[in-house]
Structure 1
Amino acid sequence: MDVKVFKTFLEVAKERHFGRAANSLNITQAAVSARIKQLEEFFDATLFVRQRNNIRLTSTGERLVRYAEVMVNTLQQAKDDLKLAKGEQAQLTLAGTPNIWDAYLQHCLGLITESMSGYAFSADTLSQEQVNRALLQRTLDMGILFEPVKSELLECKAVARLELVLVSSRQEAAELALSGEYIFVDWGVQFAQAHAEAHAGSVPPAMRTSSARIALDILLKRGGAAYLPLSMVEPFLENEQLFRLSEGSLIEREIYLAYRKDSPLLDGILRVQARLSATSPAGGYTLQAAADNLQS
């Protein structure tokens, strides 16, 4: 059975639409239908319930998904491993949560890719849960996260710390900023705990968001206050579009790299880890720099 048949099955299962699956795979819709029919004949089972503008997996189809993912992913790992053995370029896939990209990865990813010959990179934004699942399912090589993952199959290493500072569109007391048009940015569970301790008794925020970019845009256009990475807001502090409200409002977050312990691309992943640990955006710092500061 050609692995393309299983790739097509997984794409239809994801899109719930033959036409969209065909576009994603760059093949005709007739080819998609033929491959699904071939798979159903092979297993002598119906894999999809076909209704007008509504395609869904049967119970048999749902059970086949995990086997199809294993076959497709195993083949891709074998291809990557053989490419490395032949000295060819192998692909490393990584993903981070949206705020990781805004605050950290957009700065250091280019430096990493430029310095690592022999590897191509594929990058995406996913939720913490999606990253964890993709790592376990082998559809992702590396996850960059604010919260450490817990699994015997995964390695999770802290690679940097990020400085989050309370900024406002107005020069005012921190207490006033949190009682007005305050935007609570979701920087993870540990941030929420530190925030509650630092600002006990504050009124509920006017808005919540998981995107630092959204919060920054609102602050610049409509005004308000929020905790944002120093690396992101420094230009706006310099020209006084924003104001840092209190030196004591600093909250630090560790950034973690997670990956499978048995990954066939472990050498490349460890090289990325070393570069992440040595690369930090302005307003953040590496764990190596932190260790040096403690020793000095």
Structure 2
Amino acid sequence: MKKNILLVFLVLNCATLAKDYMPKDYSFSTNEVDTSFYVDGEKVSETILEIPIPKVPDKTIKIRAVKTGFKPEEVELRYQFNPIVHLNGLFLIFYPVGVLVDYYNDAFYHYSAEKNYFVMQKDSNFTENDMSKSYVSYEEKRGNLKFANGYFATNRATKIFSIARFEKGEYIELANRKDSSIDNSNGILSVSQYQKNNGLDNRIGFLTPGKYRISAFFSYSVTEGRNIRTYEGKVNETTEFEVLPNALTILCTDFDQTKGKTVFQLYQSKSNPDLHKFSAPNLQNTGNQICPAIKGIDLKIN
């Protein structure tokens, strides 16, 4: 038994083990839709950015987030020392062996950035250069965008009541979703088989372009000592929106305590030529970041 434990310590060293869980793509996002992302001076995306982790050691990539009316933000994605290596010290006398294993497994260094989420600060004096070659090239890609699905996300406090699609002069109910339609773990719209057969794409969170009507309500739980208190708005709050090809639509809900009512905010990006390439978890996380934060401490009993 002791020999088996020793073998595990020698083989599964801290940085080496963590290396297998490192993402293949590095994502960046902001609290503003339609933020332009420049990689080494070239505009490559808007609202959200995913770039492959470089295979070349010591390569530094400059990421710049830009939007007219806001102060630009910049960060570097660098190849640097992996502090997880130090956790080998937990194994005391096996520390040197663990370090050697991590070294030979090329786990001493990894790619990381000081931050991958930008909170854009307003600056009325800044204007994005729309005459640059990179900007013009990106607009040409947008203009040549072929038919593609849009993406719909909510914040975690949103519960979908029903969803309908506008067809031939009226809204056609796609599904009655009273039975708690949102996946509580991630807040993404879960597409049922019935909806797939009625024009919704089978990828979670993606909707075919067109006009939709959605009914939803705010639901948020706060832990108070040993008790959990849930705040819910009325279920009859409804909004209408249009899903554009490769656009990110975000529905945020909040709670008006005085009226006991759900409050809607809808954000929508311009069409992004590369939106379909991004992973659903990162798109959903972007939705949560763009929605105003819910301050549980402000929820009080009337």
TM-score by structure 2 length? Answer: 0.26
Higher normalized helix content (fraction of residues): 1
Greater RCO (Cα-Cα under 8 Å, separation 6 or more): 1
Higher normalized strand content (fraction of residues): 2
